[in-house]
Structure formats: structure tokens, C-alpha cells
Structure 1
């Protein structure tokens, strides 16, 4: 069985992606890279003996394994920061900022997004005077901006429209903060450093959100995160490690 570990792992990864997409009723981000990795592992199983037989390829593969080990150690370090970052602060704030997370069937909040919205409703119990900022633009696979679908969901849950502020231009987390900053300052007639903001997102997303919030001038903020549904934990936490590297290097 040991000599088949690579092929078995490849099949497991592919089946896992199929299962979580089926259970979620929507395409889960980062599914394609995991499927590709699964295919590579399966192909590797059938060519690894040929690689060992050729000295040049064998040496190159040994060097590649060293870099893979270094990368894996860095990956574990990032995951440790994601897991240990504080995620649940219940203090009172002026604004509750809910970050978008995609739509299902082009018009309805995804499972992850619904959980964020439910968390925002929970926040209102201790933030009864706060306004909710809904941040999310329209993706290519969506029929409306995410913030509009988020607003509809909250109003159906009994939240008054007067308490909702919509930001509908952003396409990623960095823009969520950039464009929401303008909305908050316009609404409050104050500078952002005078305002307390509660960031509502999912637990795997809290650490990166705090990095990008600081880059966009958020000073007085805290996090209130909902939990990731169990079957999405492997893919969301893995994806987030790579997203953090991308945000640190490229998001301004």
C-alpha cells in the first residue's frame, strides 16, 4: 500500500473537491488547483521509476524536493498564524463591516456568506446602534453585486434597510476595505481613525483581513468571525495560506 500513496492521495484530493462542490451546491474557490495537484500525483506514480532511472532527472527531483520541504514548512507557519489569530471580539463598535464571499445560483448568498451575515445579526445584539456595511461587487458568474444579495438576505431576516450601507464595486478583500472606507467616512462625516469598526468574516479569513485593514487605514477595528463548515476547512485554510502570500506581496 505504501508504494501507492501518491496515486491514492491524488484520487482522494480529486474526490474531496467533487464532494465539497456537490455538498455546497456551488463551485468552491481553489478547487481547480487541488484537482490539478491530484492529477499530478497520479501521473507521478506512473513515471517515478523512470525518473529514478535517469541520473539527471533524479538529481533535479531531489533539488525540487528540498524546495518543496522548505515551502511546506513556510506553509505550516502561515497556517499557525491563521489558526491562532484572535477571531471573536464582542465589544461595541460604530460600524459592522461584512466582507463578501460569492453568490450561489448567481443571485443568492453562498453558504460562507450566509454564515457571515448571520454573524453580523449576532453582532447587533451588542451593537444595537451600529450600522452594517455590506461590501461586495459583482463577479462574472453573478447576476447582481454581492452586497445587494446580502442586503436582501438581511432584510428578509428583519434588519431595517436604514441600517444598511452598500458598497458594490469591490472585487477582492483589499478593495472591500478600500471602498468601504469611503462609504464609512461619507456616512459618518468623520475620519476613519475616529471610528470603531467590527470586521465580520469567516475564521480562516480573519488574519489576512486584519493585514489588509491596517494597510487601508483602519486603526480602531476588531474581528468577529463565524466558523467554517467542517467539510470546507481543508480547502479554505489551504487556499488562504496562498492568498496571504499574494496579499503581502502584491496588495497595496
Structure 2
């Protein structure tokens, strides 16, 4: 078996893993770039590995397409390098801390619900928020997130129910921001709730979100003039970790384009 054959077998294996990963998560109704893109890339890898000879013969007969193909491979390679550089950056900027004291408010950013229950990622955020809240019994807890497609209750309502059932937190210390559909709106809409409770952007505030999300969330908070903020990282479940990081890669770019931070 020559080197080219070994490469195609490796490509086929990677393609199958990516396709299965994307297909499985999409079957769980986790439909976003972080799941769709691996499925499509995996499918493309499998097709190329299986029909390599026919593809090469076809490209040889069509010089313009062959040139476009080679250009596409170069851009795809550069994109892969940028993606793994982003993953490396995230990995080296994750900081887990849950021992913050003297907080005035704790803002928990939403991350999707499924059939009236928090997603695995959101549950991790809420678990982390509960630890912080138990050390800051007087802190206001703001739960953020509007109505997801196909759901009856808003994210904020589902989050409140989870915290009360799992941790018996004081419902009088919980406020719901149930209109937002993005991180930017999570933090923007929370400002009026802070004001209603005698707090402001200079108060001591903890923002609880997933590890991969803390960098962008902190940048958005800074743009909105939150001045005394601690970012609290929640671990991302391994099953969806790198899909979530892939999704965050595009969210980070779109946030920059839309001037969210």
C-alpha cells in the first residue's frame, strides 16, 4: 500500500467520523453550523476517498475546474489552519472559577432548551451558576433567553424551573430576561432588569456561560460598558464540545462583522 492509498484511507476514516458526528447531533435537533458543517465536510471526504480516481480523471479533462479545485484546496487548508488556531486560543484562555464573593448580580446566558428542559450545555451553565449563587446569597440572578422554536416556555423560564427544582434557590432572587435571542441581546436586555433592582453597569456582576463562549461574551459586555465583570466558565460536554467551538468560530466572526464587540 503506497502513501497515497494510506492518505485516502485516513481521509475516509476522518470523513466517516465527521459524518456520523454531524448526523447524530442533527438527529437530536442540534441544527447549526457546528453540526451541519462537519456532516458536509465528512461527506465530501468520503466521496473523494472512494471515487478518487474518477474525480481525478474528470478534473484532468476539465483544466478550468481542475484549477478551481486546487484553489479550493488551498483556501480550505488555510481555513483549517485558522480554525485550529482559534481552538488553540480558546483552550488557552479557559479559566474556571466559581469562588467569587460579594457579587451584586449573576447573569446566566442562555444556550437552548429541548422539550422544556435545558440542553446539556445550558445545564452545565446553570450548575455553575448555582455554585456561585450559593456563595452569594444576596446576589440577583438574571436568567436570559427567549422562546426557542417549537417550545412552549422561554429559555429563561426553563432555566428558573431547573434551578429551583435542582438547587432550591430563592425564587425572589431570580429575574427573567425572556425576550432575547442572542448574547448581545442577553446582556443588553439585562441592563433594564439591573436598574429595576437598584443596580447598574458599575455593580459587581458575574456572567456565567460556557468555557468557549467567555471570550466573546466578555468582549460584548465591555462594548456595552459593563465595568466590573467576572466571567464564570462552565465546562462544555465532550460530546458537543468541538461542534460548539466550531459554531463559536463563526459566531466570533459574525460578531466582529456586526460590530457586537
TM-score normalised over the length of structure 1: 0.89
Mind listing any 5+ residue stretches in structure 1 that lack a counterpart? none
Partner of 1:80: 88
Partner of 1:120: 129
- Aligned residue number for residue 158 of structure 1: 168
Counterpart in 2 of 1:12? Answer: 17
- TM-score (norm: length of structure 2): 0.86
Aligned counterparts of 1:200 and 1:69: Cα–Cα separation in 2: 34
2:205 corresponding residue in structure 1: 197
Q: Which residue of 1 aligns with 2:37?
A: 33
Distance in 2 (CA, whole Å) between partners of 1:88 and 1:125 is 17
Distance 1:32 1:43 in 2: 17
Partner of 2:146: 137
2 CA distance for matches of 1:12 and 1:66? Answer: 23
Residues 59/16 of structure 1: CA separation in 2 closer, same or farther (3 Å cut): same
Q: Distance in 1 between matches of 2:60 and 2:186?
A: 49
Partner of 1:48: 55
- Over the residues paired in the alignment, what is the CA RMSD in angstroms? 2.0
Using the alignment, how far apart are the partners of 2:21 and 2:181 within structure 1? 27
Q: How far off is 1:17 after superposition?
A: 2.5
Aligned length in residues: 247
Q: Partners in 2 of 1:141 and 1:216 — Cα distance?
A: 31
Contact 1:101 1:113 in 2 (8 A): yes
1:124 alignment partner, SS class: helix
